[in-house]
Chains A and B, each alone.
Chain A
Amino acid sequence: MRAADTLMESLQAEGVKNVFGIPGGANLPTYDALVDADFRHVQVRHEQGGGHAAEGYAKASGRVGVAFATSGPGATNLVTAIADAMLDSVPTVFITGQVRTELIGTDGFQEADILGATLPFVKHSFQATDARQIPEYVHEAFHIASTGRPGPVLLDIPQDLSRADIDYEPRTEPVDLPGYKPSTEGNIKQIRIAAKALANARRPVFYTGGGVVSANASEELRELAASDRFPVTSTLMGLGAFPASDENWLGMLGMHGTFTANYAMDKADLIVAIGARFDDRITGKLAEFAPSAKVIHIDIDPAEISKNVGAHIPIVGDVKLVLPKLTREYRALQTDSSRLDPWWNQIRGWQQEHPLFYEPGKDGEIKPQFMVETLHRATQGDAIITSDVGQHQMWAAQYYGFDKPRRWINSGGLGTMGFGLPSAVGAKVACPDETVVCLAGDGSLVMNVQELATCVAEEIPVKVFLMNNGYMGMVRQWQELFWDRRYSSVKMGASPDWVKLAEAFGATGMRCESSADLEETMVKALETDGPVLLDVRVTQEENCYPMIPPGEAARDMVEAPRVVR
């Protein structure tokens, strides 16, 4: 069988239903084999878009996302998506064409050392040197991408090897890699110590991250939190794993987290980090982070434990397996939950005195926060929301109130502008029955706006709600606050005309400029068939608060200024 056909066979054997990509010279055999393959290929308009679509697909569904690209520029266009998938631990397999084996190393046409270029931010990578490796590497790639801490795997296939004929037997036995054995169970002695520490904690906080979402461990987290009214906060990546409507929820923590969440961390005596990695956007000034707290750190990746913040009780394991054990051990201790009363009194005090706040808009002005609240109403809080990177992303995280996991898809670690639209394409392909809204920023959207063509041509009815403030708003905010308001290359202005641009792509374009019309317009956009771009004109120079200034401690956070009346 031709090796390219065994590529399709092995992808199908891995359960692949959808791939995203663009053909080119070096992956022509792959695309020829694709004609007869049994899954859907979405022809994107730029390889970066294909890579982010694969990520959106993976984040929405929990299945491995797959993207194809040709050699050279096709492959290098994937680089940002690969790095993005690494930093957010997204299970993805990227399959690139490479020049013929005899041309490798000769600077041949469209040759790029994509293996070398991506080495620092792949979970693993393969370059086939023998056609028989191709189906083997597919199975190994899926195994590595989807188990342990998920991440991107690159498979680079020289063109001549794809065309070669090989003997092919479908693989029946599971993949076994001698150097790759993630430990998942969690050491029961450590779990018991953790349960006892929790029983003695007076001011505990659960600090949860994207690992809870990756592990599909929302139920298990809720069980543990419910076993004793434990306060829960989450990183940007973990939103939705614990319901925002739950009374134990403190809101997001970190640079733009709630006052309550950040103060709870600052005053905590015990932090239980669950599938989170103490990123600098969470800790702020490391030396002053959570000064009174001991740390229980539960993570599948042993290298995350004590990397940034020392763990007093490390537990290496899959949170889906560890949390039920911790719940069981904790419940067996039958702790008196009234010991947490003073802590909850303090927390409720913070919540009352320091809620999220913005000055309401006057005379029909659409405040960006109001736009997110309106989006929540228009979608009944039950859409998959993807976002770009910047202020709109933070406002969405603060104000949408995610109640379920895999409903919030954004680029957290790498902070990739232009992520929103292509990831929405992937999410919609993964979940065709769900409403998928890309909450975009005007600085970001233009970076991958070509994927509107994909939405139209492939009939992927994504709704793009553009929070248009005429600026790269987050950079403008930093220039205003930390660089003496010397605005430098942040103004986007009125170009392009988004409605016309949407129409030029064959999508529906709409605009809203008044708060009174916003909900109705959003509902209309959601009810309109096919892809829609709704241009919402919001306050231009609104700042995102609260904010911990970069490099400072949580207790130095700045809240939204209130107008004195």
Chain B
Amino acid sequence: MEAGTPQAVKLEDLHLPGQLSGRKHILSIQVENKPGVLARVAGLFSRRGFNIDTLAVGPTDDPSISRVTLTLDGAVHPIDQVTKQLHKLVNVLKIRDMEPEETVAREMALFKVSSAVENRAEIIQFAEIFRGKIVDVARRTMTIEVTGSADKIEAFERMIRPHGLVEMVRTGEIAIARGHD
């Protein structure tokens, strides 16, 4: 008898694992760098009714491989089913459902804020608290670059909105597994 095989299997002892994790998931997907691959990934999500919260696509250290990083809500979608469907795409090489504790995740956002002379100092102060950078200043607006977790970006947005948010651009999260010693 191999280890892991129970002596007896009673039907009443068989249970189904839960389908919904209830938390946000970051999927890091390595795909072949070929025409139309993003359309296949995006098309799969729309066809199966999976809702993507953020999506970021870029090259990797290997020019033949691109990385798609996407976040989706595990309270709504069975992540297991999502990854299994993704695996059926021939151009998808590897999928990693990033463990939150073992992952460094970052997103960048640009905020264009209307800045009259009287509140300029306050905006600069907010930017400093969030370790943001002022990347453009015009007569009526200032643009601030903020990098961090999605939570941090959203916190900054809440702070800055009352001052007159003109425009916001977010990249969507990218993530990498923490190194092991």
Q: Is the CB of A310 within 8 A of B16?
A: yes
Q: Which of B5, B6, B36 has the most CB of A within 10 A?
A: B5
Which residues of B from 10 to 62 have beta carbons under 8 Å from A? 10-11, 14-16, 19, 31-32, 35-36, 39-40, 43, 47
Of A179, A188, A196, A301, which contacts B9 at CB under 8 A?
A196
- Please indicate the chain B residues that have their CB under 8 angstroms from the CB of A178 in the complex: 32, 93
Q: Is the CB of B90 within 8 A of A179?
A: yes
Q: Is the CB of B81 within 8 A of A294?
A: no
Q: How far is it, in angstroms, between the C-alpha of A120 and the C-alpha of B46 when the chains are bound?
A: 10
Tell me, rounded to whole Å, the shortest Cβ–Cβ distance linking A401 to chain B.
33
Which residue on A lies nearest to B7, using beta carbons?
A196
Of A179, A305, A312, which contacts B91 at CB under 8 A?
A179
Q: Mark A300-332, 1 if CB is under 8 A from B, else 0.
A: 011101110011110000000000000000000
Which residue on A lies nearest to B86, using beta carbons?
A303
Q: Is the CB of B5 within 8 A of A144?
A: no
- Please indicate the chain A residues that have their CB under 8 angstroms from the CB of B16 in the complex: 306, 310-312
Q: Is the CB of A196 within 8 A of B87?
A: no
A residues contacting the other copy or chain, number (CB 8 A): 35
Which residue on A lies nearest to B64, using beta carbons?
A178
Which residues of B from 67 to 110 have beta carbons under 8 Å from A? 78, 80-81, 84-85, 87-93
Tell me, rounded to whole Å, the shortest Cβ–Cβ distance linking B120 to chain A.
48
Q: Is the CB of B11 within 8 A of A270?
A: yes
Contacts A119-B40, A179-B91, A192-B5 given: A197-B84 contact, CB under 8 Å?
A: no
- Please indicate the chain A residues that have their CB under 8 angstroms from the CB of B40 in the complex: 119
Of B8, B78, B90, which contacts A196 at CB under 8 A?
B8
Q: Is the CB of B81 within 8 A of A306?
A: yes
- The answer to the question of B4 belonging to the interface, with a C-beta cut-off of 8 Å to chain A, is yes
Of A119, A123, A302, which contacts B84 at CB under 8 A?
A302
Which residues of A from 110 to 163 have beta carbons under 8 Å from B? 115-116, 119-120, 123-124, 127, 129, 144
Q: Is the CB of B11 within 8 A of A201?
A: yes
Q: Is the CB of A115 within 8 A of B89?
A: no
- The answer to the question of A189 belonging to the interface, with a C-beta cut-off of 8 Å to chain B, is yes
- The answer to the question of A475 belonging to the interface, with a C-beta cut-off of 8 Å to chain B, is no
Closest 9 CB pairs of A and B: A196-B9, A303-B84, A312-B14, A310-B16, A124-B90, A197-B9, A192-B5, A294-B14, A179-B93
A196-B8, A197-B9, A311-B16 known; 8 new pairs, CB 8 Å cut-off, are A119-B39, A196-B9, A200-B8, A200-B11, A294-B11, A303-B88, A312-B16, A313-B14
Residues in B lying within 8 Å of A, measured CB to CB: 2, 4-6, 8-11, 14-16, 19, 31-32, 35-36, 39-40, 43, 47, 78, 80-81, 84-85, 87-93
Residues in A lying within 8 Å of B, measured CB to CB: 115-116, 119-120, 123-124, 127, 129, 144, 177-180, 188-189, 192-193, 196-197, 199-201, 269-270, 294, 301-303, 305-307, 310-313
